[in-house]
Amino acid sequence: MDLSEQEVMALLHSATRGNDTPLRNALTHFGSISSLLKASDSAWDSCRCLSKEWRSTFSEVLKRARSGFIRPKEHQTLGLLRDLGVSVITPTDVEYPNLLHHIADPPPVLYRRGTWQDLNTPQVAMVGARKASPQASTLAQTYASQLAANGLVITSGMAIGIDAFAHKGALESGHTIAVLGCGIDKIYPQRHRWLANQIIRQGCLLSDHPIGTEPAVYNFPKRNRLVSGLSRLVIVVEAARRSGSLVTAGHALDQNKELLAFPWSALHQQGLGCLDLIADGAGVVRDVQDVWLALAKAGLGAECQGMPQNQTTLPDTLSPDCWRLLRLMGDTPVSSVDLAIRSCKPITWVQERLLELELANCVAVAGIGYIRL
């Protein structure tokens, strides 16, 4: 049986039973997948970054792959990959997402199922509560549809609630990626099988779990770090305190990603996690312009076909304080006094930043206040 490098990597990955570290360490040690697959017993013995058990496990898998006498379970794994049309992507493949090379724990193997192939198209992650409020569900679907219509790919975790509405909105006008907390051959939750089929036709499913991995609570934080890792911007639509969505937000901060949240009322328990994020420095989403501003700050103006022209030319030299003030402004005039109250800063501080923004053609005087251009 002649196996491709990708298929052999899938067999090695299955042997890890979901523990990516040994395979990642082996790739680092050998320097390339080709060298790893051709490694002799003595070469494996010299791989001191792995325990004796893992060296033996990987060596045995490779021997079986070379001889063609693979085990029935390994036959089943390869059969599923082929029957489902799954692409196996490794770190040296051109299809591997560039952004994942820069996270702390890049997956050694990715599995993709669907029609969408370009994992480097700018992605925006949208996450939130499973028990989503009607308002949050509408916001997620509406924003996802608008952003997808303008060339962005919406990424989420296909969970019940906000995730599902974000995927549905994206499918109305563009593409979406669903990152799974299980093997690519599993669909979870089962009630979203219809959604998964639609995503396969118009986007793709993505997983970094070995084939056959069942959905489990401890798999979802691993999934969440991939959702944020793939994206340039993470939007938390609605989240209670101690919500799983805050895990994704934490990964976004660790990965140095732009983070936005919707400012819910303090009486809305499902939104208190968003208020906490904003208090800790996350950007506020009041309208879609706030998303374009955050994307411009992330350097994505030229890549997003739908970004308003005046937003693509925002100067890169704006200070963080100016960005902060700009986020507090909208399309209706706001006075410097109001901005001082909103920003909790002295009026002189606000006036200095407004002057800088005016000189940069980011704001204009309108009546008794200022508007964002």
Spans of the chain, pLDDT less than 70? 1, 299-317, 330-331
As to burial, measured by CB atoms within 10 angstroms (0-12 exposed, 13-18 middle, 19+ buried), residue 360 is: middle
Burial 90-117 (b: 16+ CB within 10 A, else e): bbeeeebbebbeebeebbbbbbbbbebe
Interatomic CA distance for residues 230 and 165, integer angstroms: 19
What pLDDT score was predicted for residue 151? 85
Which amino acid would we find at residue 306?
G
Interatomic CA distance for residues 331 and 74, integer angstroms: 59
What pLDDT score was predicted for residue 330? 67
State pLDDT tens for residues 39-69.
888 899 888 899 999 999 999 999 999 888 9
Q: Could you count the other beta carbons within 10 Å of the beta carbon of residue 43?
A: 15
With helix as H, strand as E and coil as C, how does the chain read? CCCCHHHHHHHHHHHCCCCHHHHHHHHHHHCCHHHHHCCCHHHHHCCCCCCHHHHHHHHHHHHHHHHCCCCHHHHHHHHHHHHCCCEEECCCCCCCCHHHHHCCCCCCCEEEEECCCCCCCCEEEEEECCCCCHHHHHHHHHHHHHHHHCCCEEEECCCCCHHHHHHHHHHHHCEEEEECCCCCCCCCCHHHHHHHHHHHHHCEEEECCCCCCCCCHHHHHHHHHHHHHHCCEEEEEECCCCCCHHHHHHHHHHCCCEEEECCCCCCCHHHHHHHHHHHCCCEECCCHHHHHHHHHHCCCHHHCCCCCHHHHCCCCCCCHHHHHHHHCCCCCCECHHHHHHHHCCCHHHHHHHHHHHHHCCCEEEECCEEEEC
What pLDDT score was predicted for residue 309? 43
State pLDDT tens for residues 16-39.
999 999 999 999 999 888 899 888
What pLDDT score was predicted for residue 316? 57
What pLDDT score was predicted for residue 317? 66
Burial 67-78 (b: 16+ CB within 10 A, else e): eeebeeebeebb
Nearest Cα neighbor of 220 from 296, 158, 272 is 158
As to burial, measured by CB atoms within 10 angstroms (0-12 exposed, 13-18 middle, 19+ buried), residue 305 is: exposed
